[in-house]
Structure 1
Amino acid sequence: MNIDLIRQDTKGLSDNKIFFNNAGSSLMPKVVVESMIDYLQQEEQFGGYEVANRNAKLLEQFYEETAKLINTKSSNIAFATSATEAYAKALSSIIFKEGDCIITTVDDYISNQITFISLQKKLNVKIIRTKNLSDNELDLEDLENLIKQHHPKLVAVTHIPTNSGLIQNIEGVGKICRQYGILYLVDACQTVGQMSVDVEKIDCDFLTATGRKFMRGPRGTGFLYVADRILEQNFAPILLDSRGADWTEYNDYELFKTAKRFEHWENSCASIIGFTEAIRYANTIGLDSIENYNKKLAEKLRGNLQNAGFKIQDKGNHLSSIITFCGPDGDLENIQRVLKEHNVFSSVTYKNSALIDFTNKNVNGIVRLSPHYFNTMEEIETVSEILKNSLK
């Protein structure tokens, strides 16, 4: 990777900030912003419908680039306005009945957990969470036993929790789900753009992702992957519109064949264009290269902070480019203040966003640093030294 060129492409780095909040909302490459401005200026002159018709082939490139990103076909991809919308669309295509069971993990994303609880309250769906092993890895033996015992409607796993650097073993889960014929939904919101993702290896039925995090796309973008076996069984969101089906009779419709049935007719075409450029940018660099570089940055930062005396809260054998920590006495406020004073962009997660995980870790919150491939090893050392000095 040409880091100098990548940094030149990132205008947000020009004002002496150190940007370590890519797990929240990253900095877009200038080609993303320029493409969106150009598209909006066309809409200003000719109107949205005319411009969409003129750019039909360009808009289709979203599906091609996204398919390339996760090793699938363009027909398996649907655009979404967020990972949460994609997740909701996937869940709404599953007809849950009273007494059905969802198996998830203690590390699943807060919005997903709240959605499951909502299904529990409204439809009396059971929520069962798998155990973690002593090293914080998923207990796949426990998962298999739970599947045998409860025959769940769905298994849902967040690949990388937003509150921890943990990378969960989603491929291992996929093998078990396929063995027992269980629907499998993966939240890859913090994964896509940070590291290689291959849906053929994961063997999931649905996978959701966002544009604004490690993908470096605009807010209001995301995507949903839907496996062929799901499309062939006519799964579709409970609330369809003309993007999802053809109105064939007064009281009937025929579903469209591709994952676009999970979209709605009205979307921001400018956002799709921008997101396409962000995906193309990552594909051009190569996710293997991005993953390898990110791993070096994260390992160095995590090691420096631990050596300085901070309490690292990332537990697991495989850790990502999300580094979570607090002060020796659990302090967050002083760390936040020091980082802000030095123009270091970070974020904080509190207990209500990771209730089970933080209760188990006996912490009330963490500071989260999430470097990405436009960051340098020099920035890692600078931030490490800033934080080290804050303990003196």
Structure 2
Amino acid sequence: MPTPELSSERIDALRAATPGLQTTTHFNHAGASLPSRGTLEAINAHLWREATLGPIEAGVAAREVTEHARSLAARMLHADPAEIAITTGNSAGWGAAFAALGTWQAGDRILTGRHEWGGNLANMLLVAERYGVSVEVIPCDAEGRVDPAALDAMLDARVRLIALTWIPSNGGVINPAAAIGAVARRHDIPYFVDAAQALGQYPIDVAAVGCDVLTAPCRKALRAPRGTGLLYIRRAFMPRLNLAYVDARSAPVRSETQPDGAVALRAVVRDDAACFETSEVSAALHCGLANALEEALAIGIDAIRATIDAKARAVRERLVALPGVTILDLGSERAGLVSFDVAGQDLPALQRTLAARGISISVNGLGYTPWDMTARGLSHIARVSVSYLTSEEEIETLLQAMREAIA
């Protein structure tokens, strides 16, 4: 039985606890959502502790909150807390894990989806230039999703990595992450999943997905503070990684007495995902992250998914009725990102026009999803991304402003 959407009464209560909704009509939740009052209070409370106790002393007191956030994140991803690192964002986690794959050799192959995030792709292309590695696009199926069968046909002994952006930033398509993972596991090939747009709006079970690495920022659907992110590393995959850099937290130095009585110093790398963390963290942001995770789990990811899906469908159906609007989303199953074009309109100018009226949307260029944009002949897309917080009044405000802007 499908999970029911959140009730209007529940949404009203959640909206009342979100201060930003009083000042903006926000349709850029896929860029960064609006934090709750509880999250803001958790951050501010710790900043006051830093101001009154001292930042280091307050940080000691906040260690339990960091571990609580780690446990909550593990619960959300159906992982073990030892498999979770708290990072500063998606690029920090993905890039660190990618750098830890070790030395590349000429002729190695990386296979990635057409919708790969430009930041991840930049890392792959630099490796390709430096070491003679090939970065190849996995073909899409008829719905525009990455095709697991096509991936299987591409594999050989030279493939060192399969990478997938689960939900791309330029549209609502949802790639078949678990089916891709089944191919990767069958051939024992490292598999990285960018879950930037999935975390907080789509159920995630890392075992079912079959990934070795999964990354996400927490500022999007999860509504955690900017500057927080999650990095999942499958426990059995950890020994295959070599950290590109360490610090006193990830590899503390210890003294060891040798058989001859001499004392030697040795850096001992942690054996859990926290080896990707550093000593320099924002305890205040971790407090905000813990609160955002608690709130999302209390609401229920399945209910969030059902509510966002219903609101995104309503926006698509009503946007496409406007003159000149073409919906650019692919796939039959879609997320809460609605991408579109408007004939004869300069999309960045449209974004500025709406912003002047207090309405936030996004306009993405080639750098967000270079291969997919190129394959579809797109230079820009406009993107409206909804939340379970989105109201009917906000949707009508957006539509009315769009009607006037494109008239």
Q: How does 1:187-202 map to 2 (within 5 A)?
A: 187-202=194-209
Which residue among 192, 197, 208 is the counterpart of 2:215?
A: 208
Segments of 4+ in structure 1 off by > 4 A? none
Show the counterpart of 2:166.
Answer: 159
> How far apart in 2 are the matches of 1:55 and 1:332?
44
Show the counterpart of 2:259.
Answer: none
- The residue type paired with residue 237 of structure 1 is L
Q: How does 1:80-119 map to 2 (within 5 A)?
A: 80-99=87-106, 100-119=108-127
Q: 2:338–2:385: 8 Å Cα contact kept in structure 1?
A: yes
Show the counterpart of 2:3.
Answer: none
Provide Cα deviations, 1:179-231, integer angstroms capped at 9, x if missing partner: 00000000001110122111121010000010211111111110100111113
> How far apart in 1 are the matches of 2:266 and 2:109?
31
> Match of 1:102, SS?
strand
Show the counterpart of 1:256.
Answer: 270
Which residue among 98, 109, 122 is the counterpart of 2:130?
A: 122
Show the counterpart of 2:245.
Answer: 239
Q: 1:154–1:184: 8 Å Cα contact kept in structure 2?
A: yes
- Structure 1 position 322, deviation (Å): 0.6
Which residue among 308, 311, 316 is the counterpart of 2:331?
A: 316
> How far apart in 2 are the matches of 1:337 and 1:222?
29
Show the counterpart of 2:397.
Answer: 382
Q: 1:117–1:127: 8 Å Cα contact kept in structure 2?
A: yes
Q: How does 1:346-357 map to 2 (within 5 A)?
A: 346-357=361-372
- The residue type paired with residue 222 of structure 2 is M
- The residue type paired with residue 368 of structure 1 is R
> Match of 2:163, SS?
strand
> How far apart in 2 are the matches of 1:350 and 1:98?
32
Show the counterpart of 2:386.
Answer: 371
Q: 2:348–2:363: 8 Å Cα contact kept in structure 1?
A: no
Q: 2:102–2:241: 8 Å Cα contact kept in structure 1?
A: no
2:307 is equivalent to residue 293 of structure 1: yes
When residues 334 and 93 of structure 1 are mapped into structure 2, their CA distance, relative to the original with a 3 A threshold, is closer
Show the counterpart of 1:280.
Answer: 294
Which residue among 8, 17, 23 is the counterpart of 2:16?
A: 8
Which residue among 74, 78, 87 is the counterpart of 1:71?
A: 78
2:55 is equivalent to residue 52 of structure 1: no
2:352 is equivalent to residue 345 of structure 1: no
Show the counterpart of 2:261.
Answer: none
Show the counterpart of 1:183.
Answer: 190
- Structure 1 position 377, deviation (Å): 2.8
- Structure 1 position 3, deviation (Å): 0.7
Aligned length: 389
> Match of 1:135, SS?
coil
> How far apart in 2 are the matches of 1:58 and 1:130?
41
2:344 is equivalent to residue 336 of structure 1: no
When residues 330 and 107 of structure 1 are mapped into structure 2, their CA distance, relative to the original with a 3 A threshold, is farther
Greater shift in the superposed pair: 120-129 or 64-73: 120-129
- The residue type paired with residue 21 of structure 2 is L
- Structure 1 position 355, deviation (Å): 2.8
- The residue type paired with residue 253 of structure 2 is W
TM-score by length of 1: 0.94
> Match of 2:124, SS?
helix
- Structure 1 position 274, deviation (Å): 0.9
> Match of 1:153, SS?
strand
> Match of 2:268, SS?
strand
Show the counterpart of 2:284.
Answer: 270
- The residue type paired with residue 119 of structure 1 is V
Q: 1:327–1:335: 8 Å Cα contact kept in structure 2?
A: no
Cα RMSD (Å) = 1.7
When residues 217 and 303 of structure 1 are mapped into structure 2, their CA distance, relative to the original with a 3 A threshold, is same
- The residue type paired with residue 144 of structure 1 is D
**Structure 2, gaps ≥5 residues long:** 1-5, 257-263
Provide Cα deviations, 1:281-307, integer angstroms capped at 9, x if missing partner: 111111111000000000110111112
> How far apart in 2 are the matches of 1:313 and 1:267?
39
Q: 1:155–1:177: 8 Å Cα contact kept in structure 2?
A: yes
